Structure 1
Amino acid sequence: TDILGIEYAITTLQNSILKIIHDTPDYDQLIKFIKHIDMDDPFKKEIFIALSRNQKIKLASKLKSMYNNGSSANLKKMFDDILDFKDKSIEDDLFENDSIGVYNTPITTNDSDEGCSTKDSDGDERHDHVGNSNYPPPLPKVSNPVLLSRVFMHKSVVNDKKYLSDKELVNSNYERLEFLGDSVLNNLITLIIYDYFPEFNEGELSKVRIELINNQTLTTWSKLYGFDKELRKNISDNAFYKGKMKIFADVFEAYVGALTLEKKENMEAIKNWLKLLSLPILDKFEEKNSTSTSTLNKNAKSELYSLVGCAAMPPKYDVVKTGDGSDQSFVVACSIKGEEIGRGRGNNIKEAGLRAAMDALSNKPKVEKYSMIRRQMPRSISVLRGESPE
């Protein structure tokens, strides 16, 4: 028999019971405490997670209530309950008991908030841009304080709590929410760009998605909403700043995951918000596409030469990227005296060269510059092959 082990166990049990009697609130007091937690205080979020991840705090409060009420007649049953306590979580109690009143509004809030629709009052597409007072669009709210606390909890805060089980640990940080949000974000962004660019092929759609779903973009979005200031962590500054871009991107994905759990019946609200958030990047690709798909001017090279070219200073066309005629476009740069004045892409070199000339024709400052140089050039030089004078 392990006498010393039993002695230690009894001592620990006695100390634990004293802790419960003197420091633990009874169940009614615990619920009142939860109702008044200030969720704007970042340190209170960890408390909320501790209250929600298992039933141990609830068990302590129930024991205190039993002690206060003198309900200790069946000691064996009480010990059995302590050793094998199975009950609903406090979080379940909060949602099921309307009299508690922790949540004043339903979880599915903010679905009709301004900014969660991509249409303005006239029904036209809204193009909000960075720097615009309407950007970023309003953030859809996560109403469940347990989910919200978990979003901003890095695993380093709880990893040193050795008394927690593996299940309790993984439900005390944002990594599971991040996993869910990563998948949802990828799917919703794919739907957004698929609808936004009906003329894009698979390769072009992939380029847009890569631009939208990467650590840099997600970190930018995360900081737009102040997620970087909400994050709770317990790691050295050196380790944190080495990987901070990935961490802030992960937090954004975790927030999307939390929204998904709350708004399972209204994913369109999340999609609309993400579309508004993506518009600056979507518009950038739309602008590039409108240039590259505009009607081909087959006389563009002749028109450019008539404005700026001469025998001594002809426009040059160089292939800067070789395509394959399908997914990969050819890219041609147009230059004069070593200065690039236009660039074009096309399914073949000829088309890319014509589009480079079209791009140069739209570059008014460069056209005026070299037109002036040509006019000032002595005719005897302009009609000869060679370099024009500096």
Structure 2
Amino acid sequence: MSRDTRGSIGIKGAAEAKVSGLLKKFTYDRLFQIKRDYNNLQDTLENISRFGINNSDLYFLLNSEDIPEEIKDVAGHPSIEAAAKIKTEQDAGSFQLIKTKARPAPESKESSPAPRPIKKFRVDEIRKSIFGTQLPPLNNTTPVNFPPSLPPINDDNILKVIFTHSSAANDPSFDVYESNERLEFLGDSVLNHIISVLIFAKFPQYNEGDLTLLRSDIVCNKNLTNWSTLYGFDKQLVSNFNSQQLEQNHKKLYANVFEAYVGGLYQDSRGDINAILPWLSLLCEPIIAKAENTSSYKPLDQPEGSYPSQSEPKPNYHTANDENSKSSKQELYVLLNPIFVPQYEVVKKENGDHNPLFTVACLVNGELLGVSESRSIKLGGQMAAYDALNNNKAKVEKYKDLRVEVKEKGKPVPPKITTPVEEQIIAHRSRFGL
């Protein structure tokens, strides 16, 4: 074996050992944690830039006789001193926040096409569009001043993030580097919290199950999408989707933008719920009014938040393709817990990973109550619960009665059904003609 060959083998072996060592050290979870830590670092540095104290102001705080001692105690902490140094350097322009950019695509060895022009994000146009004029009411059945005026967001950076979809944040042809996903996460929590506070005070006669179902109706995607389009959010969303993709995904996309706006309001107001609550209260008022003066909650005839004219027929609440079928799982859970908690089982998966079709069964005590086929497991569970509530009411009522007997009268839980799920599905479909 020649020296060159031995050297080549040695280099290859060293490279393989290096790869093996890196894979052991930097697992998927560890790399994901690094990514999350970096995002947290970015948020921290941006907060210091926006709200931090510089060296000059800190010196004044620590040396002024008019400053309370408890303030001086906090201001004298080493972490405050370090943050003040960062803030001072940021103000002087010598400390630059690092922005994450999408990794550029590798250049082709062949002639590369001319680069696409950078699409500028115009915050001033967004402000003019969504804050410029009071929107008209939907029709003559809505309140005169509906929708309520949109609370403004003062921070341009927050406003920019709200209307940036992840497809644009990852595209180097856009001049944006952060998507609205984190604000959407925050807004979802804030929205649920505020709606919970509103309906808790408004409906003292409702139990927790009624309140849960009402809140689910209010914050469903159709409502959020409707509100989003009312304020023109749909026209401001920056994404890399074509018109067909937007049409297919618009409900979820625009609902997400609304949640991101709520999250942006919370961040811009530095966590002041009172900056958001009055607006959401007015926005939800027409929906909440439909549930007033009832002793227990019944699903709304028109849960999407739209306001049809009196001549239009009201749709049936339970429709298989209705967005609100997602509340069926919660509804079934409320009816049967804690004795008979519904279980959802994926019975079959077809078509491989590219375009999967899942058969999902809803089981209570081993007995099939509902079944569905869906492209996603989550939706399949929702539709299986819907099937149970609408096509198998007798069994649902049976377990409701058993729940009372077990919980209040001490009756033992009946033995679990052991018939294979596949056989139960065949009998179920035959019985209901599905």
TM-score, normalisation: structure 2: 0.36
Pick 1 or 2: higher relative contact order, CA cutoff 8 A, min separation 6. 1
> TM-score, normalization: structure 1?
0.40
